[in-house]
Amino acid sequence: MAAPETSTAAVPTLYTNNTLRNAFGGVLSFFILLLIGVMAFSIRLFSVIKYESVIHEFDPYFNYRVTQFLAKNGIYEFWNWFDDRTWYPLGRVIGGTVYPGLTLTAGTIWWLLNSLNIPLSVETVCVFTAPIFSAFASWATYLLTKEVKGTGAGLTAAALLAMVPSYISRSVAGSYDNEAVAIFALIFTFYLYIKTLNTGSLFYATLNSISYFYMVCSWGGYTFIINLIPMHVLLCIVTGRFSSRLYIAYAPLVVLGTLLAALVPVVGFNAVMTSEHFASFLVFIIIHVVAFVYYIKGILSPKMFKVAVTLVVSVGLAVCCAVIAVLIALVASSPTKGWSGRSLSLLDPTYASKYIPIIASVSEHQPPTWPSYFMDINVLAFLVPAGIIACFLPLSDASSFVVLYIATSVYFSGVMVRLMLVLAPAACITSGIALSQAFDVFTGSIKFQLSGASSNTEVDAAETSSSTAESQTDAVKTEKPEETAKNRPSRKSKKKEREHGEKPSTKAKAEKKRLLALPLESSVISLLLLVLLGAFYVVHCVWAAAEAYSAPSIVLTSRSHDGLHVFDDFREAYAWLRHNTDVDDKVASWWDYGYQTTAMANRTVIVDNNTWNNTHIATVGTAMSSPERAAWEIFHSLDVKYVLVVFGGLVGYPSDDINKFLWMVRIGGGVFPHIKEPDYLRDGQYRIDSQATPTMLNCLMYKLSYYRFVETDGKGFDRVRQTEIGKKYFKLTHFEEAFTTHHWMVRIYKLKPPKNRIRGKTKKSKSKTSSTTSSPKRSGTKKKNPWQ
Amino acid sequence: MEAPIRAREALGFILFSLLFSICRSSSLNHLLISNAERRIDLSSHIVKVFLTLKVENAGSTPTSEVLLSFPPTQADHLATVEALVTKGKRKKTTLVRLDVKPTELPDAPNDAKYFTIYLANPLKSGESTTIEVLYLLTHSQEPFPAEIAQSESQLVYYRDSALILSPYHIKQQATFIKTPSTKVESFTRVEPSNRAGTEIKYGPYEDHPPYSFSPILIHFENNSPFAVVEELVREVEISHWGNLQVTEQYTLVHAGARHKGVFSRVDYQSRPTLNGASSLRYLLARLPPRVHSVYYRDEIGNISSSHLRTDSRKSELEIEPRYPLFGGWKATFVIGYGLPLQDFLFETSDDRRYLNFTFGCPLLETVVDKLTVKVVLPEGSKDPSAVVPFPVEQHLETKYSYLDVVGRTVVVMEKKNLVPAHNSHFQVYYTFKPIFMLAEPLMLASAFFLFFVACVAYLHIDLSIRK
């Protein structure tokens, strides 16, 4: 037992004992952090072990392709890269439209490794970038929570974040997406903000803006930071917590951060011109006004101050009104009120489904369901309220920030399931605080009860001795802040300060020990229950990492009684395209497969997952929902040679093109009104069986999906829709089957070449009549078919 | 198109032979072939020709060189020529391999190409010996029609001569051609010739002067897939920690009749024998025994359709490309595997080490157009030299791998037009001091040591101006 020993020992030995204990604690927490990092990395390797080291899903393929380009051609070529393989015939300026953080990070890692003669491929680096950065993210969480509630809470929060399923879902090995590095950048920026807020050091403020710059480079979610921090600043000002530290934490961030953000090509002048950033500037003005008021208050007498206030307020209000009026006019003049569609759908959850079907069609932009909360943050959902309460005991600048962070992120996660990712760190931090405080209370009361039972007097002696020691240090501490306020603290004094910073918390614990001493049995039982809760969380996380989130989605497996079946049809089709078509052939498919086609098949696509041009996507949607001849004309006008459709009816793969088809109709109909959704629905129901509408049964998507499907089983039974198909025997007139994969999941069709014009009198007269009949039609329905 | 030219060539040959046979050098004159039998096997896309020559020395001086001649079109596709001679009598016969080297003759008629067989014992005058010659031809079956649909079977042309092209007088000769199936569309008749089952017989022909040539054209069905590896790079990396890592990069193409029109999966799956009969469904690679960590992938990831069967003598890897290859379709893939080093690395008596490994492509029944073998020697090895049983182009490269400082020496060997018969062993000799094995661990250890020292130093330095 430590307590009896310290009671007999003299003060200096107690001091050395304490430093030793601190040093031991430091080493221990260092190793715990190391292990947390290892765990964060290794829990994300299930996908590599169960499947293979491969890039996952859709967007990561684009990032991978960009990284390959970067590694091959260098940074300058990358900035100037005009990609003609996508959005044919428009193309896309990659360097100016991509968040380059992830690519540059992986490219730098690759370059570094290769210059050290470690010949890892770009693919390997890309696959393992996300797990590495999740280790970094858990360390950043440790730092942030440590700033808020001390080391114990920090370690708990880091451990929780290392395996939170929500974050795992976006950062398994192979999930090479912006979020992988952005979450680290987000947490680290918050940490530096809190650190600046706690220390008032300009050094950390500068680091904070650089970290913010990295976040801007990596993810569009940086607007969350630039709105959350001003909100917190405003909260501090309103609650009367304004200090010079707050000013140092905020003002450099806005100035430097905005300047740096404007350097990123994809953001550019948006950093000062869009409404997402206005809050930060408004608060920037407010904080200056407040700082000015505080300054004036300091130099003027109270009476003079009152006079000055009335004067300034009356003039200031007038000026403010004018400025705000101009601002509002400016903002209101832009059609979207200066907000981007995604941000608007954040503020108004129903916005996207009303106006932008292309955003609404993405499954990760849907609001989450309740089970998905349990799936993604599991027991943290129950610990968060406790953590919020713990943040209020006592409320500091830092803990109020955590409260604000969790409150806003809960709202955002409720709007878009994708933003669950932003909630996860906040939930981990608050739960970490809750768990660690609970552990503190329970272990403290156990210790108190045990030592109290053995020798009450000795404990009292220990208490008095330690309290004297603390009062001594307290005396030192009261001197310290003034000192630090004046001097730039050297590292040694900072270290001392850190020790002192921990002191009051131990003292507080000692007080709490006396106040919150629970009965021994109940605290032991609660401790066990907490451990059980943690164990449940760990089991769930490992299950989620291993089963739910490790599938790369380009290769599917199914287990049946006769072993493991692998469905590798996507890559089969892409490999076929890559090797057996001309290098400049254009492939049309729904936009979901655009990134994969350019990355894996290296063929030009019409639309891809970067849904920047709604009209172009609508054109492809219109073609897919048109009858064969009209579709052929649209595709032919786009110089398309192959059409790729994904069909799951044979093996029961549910996310195929027939199931996505209504979105194609909706998006196509949004631009070309001759495509009407009700034409494809029978009594409001979407069906492909014999009850389906003739428009549906004659559209290109139906035909390409079910061409000769009936010959597989004689009936044409679709295993996804669980029905027999409506139209079984039909021929293609303008398309021919070029390739179908082993399980029919990808079908590629070739456009037949246009028929030769036959010179002859009969034909000539026919064409004449047709042209005369068609020309008024064309002028009459101008928008009907723009591709003639 | 080509047939008339060939006929003219043949005429030319005969004229030439008549004119020049008299005034040729004496070494050619005094040999004659008393009996020649040729068996041409067309069952796969690699043409195997077995030639049995009974050579007689009719001259007065002993000679040890026998010439083989090939028309230039065939010589371009000639992958390998081997000659054997039977020794001993009755039951104790053993085959002895003879040296064969390409030779240039200054006055070759119509650019005929020559190979010289060097006999072990000079053939004295009046004596005769029997030489068995085996040569393999690649890319010698031309698909006709050049494009076929999925349900059609593949028909090919094979062109040769009914008479054996030889610089010597041949007293008696016969040619047997074996086709893969009984389905033969047509063949040139040079009497006496007849067809029975899968065999076409030309001959016997008596007393033909040197350079006799009589072009024939056989049009027959050959549905065996024409698996051709356009380029193969084999990298063999030696690690003295006990592993030999082999990486093979393939560019595979189906060189048969080009696929035309649609590919229908439903036809292909329901009637596999009728539809896509000539398609390439799988390949078999024969790997050394005790192979481990085998992988089969391409640039977009692992290919799951492969099976490995191992036993104590050999390992067989059955691989399927991602999709069945029809004529003209291509695929690229990588096969890699590790092998225990002690099976392949040996030491010579003078303290040098040598690697003994197979040269050619491990896939069965494939032609390799261009093969590059790279042997990556461990860092610090010196004086590399390669011994290959046939002529190859050689040069040295340097490769940097994990934590290399000076780089590894790479012995690069290149050869064109290979067949499975080239799977013989080659050796790479080099000297290596085992102390170099420790270089990288020591480097890592010292780097970590320096890092920790730097950390300790950093924690003990106070650079602040004010205390």
pLDDT reading at A216 higher than 90: yes
B294 contact residues in A (CB cutoff 8 A): none
The pLDDT value given to residue A518: 77
- Under the banding of pLDDT at 50, 70 and 90, the label for residue A470 is very low
Average pLDDT over residues B406-420: 89
Q: Decide if B331 and A491 are in contact by the 8 Å CB cutoff.
A: no
Task: State the pairing for strand pair B78-87/B94-103.
Answer: antiparallel
Average pLDDT over residues A732-739: 90
pLDDT tens for A100-110 read 999 999 999 99
B266 contact residues in A (CB cutoff 8 A): 708, 711-712, 740
Neighbours of A655 (CB within 10 A): 12
Tokens 């029109």 sit on residue: B261
A637 compared with A782, residue with greater pLDDT:
A637
Question: Of B263, B404, B466, which is closest to A117 when you measure between CB atoms?
Answer: B404
B328 compared with A330, residue with greater pLDDT:
B328
pLDDT reading at A503 higher than 70: no
Asked if the domains B29-219 and B225-439 are classified in one and the same CATH topology, the answer is: yes
pLDDT reading at B114 higher than 80: yes
A419, two tokens:
């933003």
A472 falls within a domain: no
Domain of residue A685: give its range: 565-751
Q: How many CA atoms lie within 13 A of A720 on its CB side?
A: 20
Question: Of B264, B298, B330, which is closest to A580 when you measure between CB atoms?
Answer: B330
Query: Quick one: angle between helices A420-454 and A370-377, nearest 10?
Result: 60
- Under the banding of pLDDT at 50, 70 and 90, the label for residue A373 is confident
A166 falls within a domain: no
- Under the banding of pLDDT at 50, 70 and 90, the label for residue B22 is very low
Measured torsion, CA atoms of residues A624, A628, A631, A635, in degrees rounded to the nearest 10: 110
> Which residues in B have their CB inside 8 Å of a CB on A?
261-266, 270, 298, 300-305, 322-323, 328-332, 400-405, 462, 464, 466-467
Instruction: Name the minimum distance, in Å, from the CA of B267 to any CA of chain A.
Output: 9
Average pLDDT over residues A268-293: 86
pLDDT tens for A38-47 read 999 999 999 8
The pLDDT value given to residue A7: 41
pLDDT tens for A618-662 read 999 999 999 988 999 999 999 999 999 999 888 888 888 888 888
Residue B422 corresponds to which amino acid? Answer: H
Which sequence spans correspond to the domains of chain B? Answer: 29-219, 225-439
Q: Decide if A119 and B400 are in contact by the 8 Å CB cutoff.
A: yes
The pLDDT value given to residue B248: 93
pLDDT tens for A536-574 read 999 999 999 988 888 888 888 887 777 788 888 899 999
- Under the banding of pLDDT at 50, 70 and 90, the label for residue A479 is very low
What is the C-alpha separation between A624 and A619, in angstroms, rounded?
Answer: 9
Q: Decide if B329 and A580 are in contact by the 8 Å CB cutoff.
A: yes
pLDDT reading at A233 higher than 60: yes
pLDDT reading at B18 higher than 50: no
B49 in helix, strand or coil?
strand
The pLDDT value given to residue A130: 92
What is the C-alpha separation between A97 and A112, in angstroms, rounded?
Answer: 26
Contact by Cβ (8 Å): B243, B284: no
Neighbours of B235 (CB within 10 A): 18
Q: Decide if A575 and B322 are in contact by the 8 Å CB cutoff.
A: yes
Average pLDDT over residues B77-99: 80
pLDDT reading at A387 higher than 80: yes
Question: Of A118, A579, A740, which is closest to B331 when you measure between CB atoms?
Answer: A579
Backbone CA torsion sign across B355, B249, B73, B183: positive
pLDDT tens for A667-722 read 888 888 888 888 888 888 888 888 888 888 888 999 999 988 888 888 888 888 88
pLDDT tens for A73-90 read 999 999 899 988 888 888
Q: What angle do CA A705, A711, A714 make, to 5 degrees?
A: 115
Q: How far is CA A558 from the centre of its chain?
A: 29
- Under the banding of pLDDT at 50, 70 and 90, the label for residue A770 is very low
What is the C-alpha separation between B230 and B233, in angstroms, rounded?
Answer: 10
The pLDDT value given to residue A135: 94
Q: What angle do CA B392, B396, B400 make, to 5 degrees?
A: 135
The pLDDT value given to residue A343: 67
**In sequence order, what are the beta bridge partners of B367?**
B228
The DSSP code sequence of B205-216 is EEEE-TT---EE
Smallest CA–CA distance from A708 into chain B, residue: B266
- Under the banding of pLDDT at 50, 70 and 90, the label for residue B89 is low
A133 falls within a domain: no
B323 contact residues in A (CB cutoff 8 A): 572, 575-576, 739, 741-742
ipTM of the prediction: 0.86
pLDDT reading at B20 higher than 50: no
B211 compared with B27, residue with greater pLDDT:
B211
What is the C-alpha separation between A601 and A609, in angstroms, rounded?
Answer: 15
A743 falls within a domain: yes
Output the average pLDDT for chain A.
82
A75 falls within a domain: no
A576 contact residues in B (CB cutoff 8 A): 322-323, 329
Architecture of the domain delimited by B29-219: Sandwich (2.60)
pLDDT tens for B147-194 read 888 888 889 999 988 888 888 888 899 999 999 888 888 888 888 888
A408 falls within a domain: no
- Under the banding of pLDDT at 50, 70 and 90, the label for residue A310 is confident
Burial bucket for residue A770 (CB in 10 Å: 0-12, 13-18, 19+): exposed
pLDDT reading at A184 higher than 90: yes
Smallest CA–CA distance from A174 into chain B, residue: B301
Q: Decide if A712 and B323 are in contact by the 8 Å CB cutoff.
A: no
Architecture of the domain delimited by B225-439: Sandwich (2.60)
Q: Decide if A575 and B331 are in contact by the 8 Å CB cutoff.
A: yes
Smallest CA–CA distance from A53 into chain B, residue: B301
The pLDDT value given to residue A488: 42
- Under the banding of pLDDT at 50, 70 and 90, the label for residue A395 is confident
Contact by Cβ (8 Å): A607, A593: no
Domain at A684, CATH number:
3.40.50.12610
Q: Is B298 left (phi over 0), alpha (psi -120 to 50) or beta?
A: beta
pLDDT reading at A602 higher than 70: yes
- Under the banding of pLDDT at 50, 70 and 90, the label for residue A205 is very high
pLDDT reading at A377 higher than 90: no
A219 falls within a domain: no
Number of domains in chain A: 1
pLDDT reading at A514 higher than 80: no
- Under the banding of pLDDT at 50, 70 and 90, the label for residue B1 is very low
Contact by Cβ (8 Å): B55, B62: no
pLDDT tens for A169-180 read 889 998 899 988
pLDDT tens for B192-214 read 888 888 889 987 888 888 888 88
pLDDT tens for B212-229 read 888 999 999 888 888 899
pLDDT reading at A400 higher than 70: yes
Average pLDDT over residues B68-79: 88
Q: Decide if A579 and B332 are in contact by the 8 Å CB cutoff.
A: yes
What is the C-alpha separation between A195 and A212, in angstroms, rounded?
Answer: 14
